[in-house]
Amino acid sequence: MLLSKKGGRSAYFYMTDKLLKKQFFSHTGTIFSNIAIGAAVFTLAIVLSGIISAILIFFWYLFLILATLFTLFIILIYYPNLFSSVSFDGLNSFINVAITTVAPVSAGISLLFSAVSVIFLAMGEPKRSKGRIIFSSVLIGVSAILFIILLVGVASK
């Protein structure tokens, strides 16, 4: 039976204070969870860039060795300063600064916001946000590990 749109109570009638509170906590918790995910991704990107740059440097030196062997020093005899212009100092110092100063802060932000988001989501509608709560809980662990590793790394320098 198809009835007219009119005549029924508006949606606002059903928005009790309890429901509004639940929606507020769920929405806020999801925002905090998004911030935590963003911060974790940022931290991982910095840490990974350090690892990737190390791999890049390794491959660069491997290439140098191979090039030297394959060309049997011919090119180097004519152009002895061929590779001297290539330097990773700038990249290394940039990544070092990022790992020692920015990454611990973003890992801390991720840890804090994932913990807060779990509290807010639990206060809102835990049944509807089950997946997000589990994900944020896992993120707490990942962020905590990253945070501790980065802090230990900074302290040992």
Partner 1 sequence: MSKFTVRFINNLPLNSRVFIGGEEAAVKRDKSGVSECQAEVSGKAEVVVKNPFEAQLPFAKWFLRTLFYWIISAFGLFDFVPNKDARVINFAFSADINEDSVATVKFNRYMIDKQAAEITESSCETQISENLYTVDKKAKKRNRAYGAIRVLSVLAMIAVAAVVIIKSITG
Residue 90 engages partner 1 in binding (rule: CB under 8 A): no
Contact residue for partner 1 among 1, 72, 74, 155 (CB under 8 A): 1
16 or 81: CB nearest partner 1: 16
Residue 19 engages partner 1 in binding (rule: CB under 8 A): yes
Cβ-contact 121, 29 below 8 angstroms: yes
3-state SS of 92-131?
HHHHHHHHHHHHHHHHHHHHHHHHHHHHHHHHCCCCCCHH
Inter-CA distances, 81 with 64, 72, 76, 77, 89, Å? 13, 16, 8, 9, 18
64 or 128: CB nearest partner 1: 128
Site string for partner 1, 55-84 (x = CB under 8 A): ------------------------------
Residue 35 engages partner 1 in binding (rule: CB under 8 A): yes
47 φ/ψ angles, rounded to the nearest 5 degrees: -60, -45
Residue 41 engages partner 1 in binding (rule: CB under 8 A): no
d(CA 15, CA 34): 26
Span 106-135, contacts to partner 1 by CB under 8 A: 128
Angle at 89 between CA 46 and CA 83, to 5 degrees: 125
Q: Which stretch binds partner 1 (CB under 8 A): 2-10, 41-49, 57-65, 146-154?
A: 2-10
Contact residue for partner 1 among 17, 21, 23, 140 (CB under 8 A): 23
> Using only C-alpha atoms, what is the Rg of the chain?
27
Residue numbers of the site for partner 1 (CB under 8 A)?
1-3, 5, 7-12, 14-16, 18-20, 23-24, 27-28, 30-32, 34-35, 38, 128
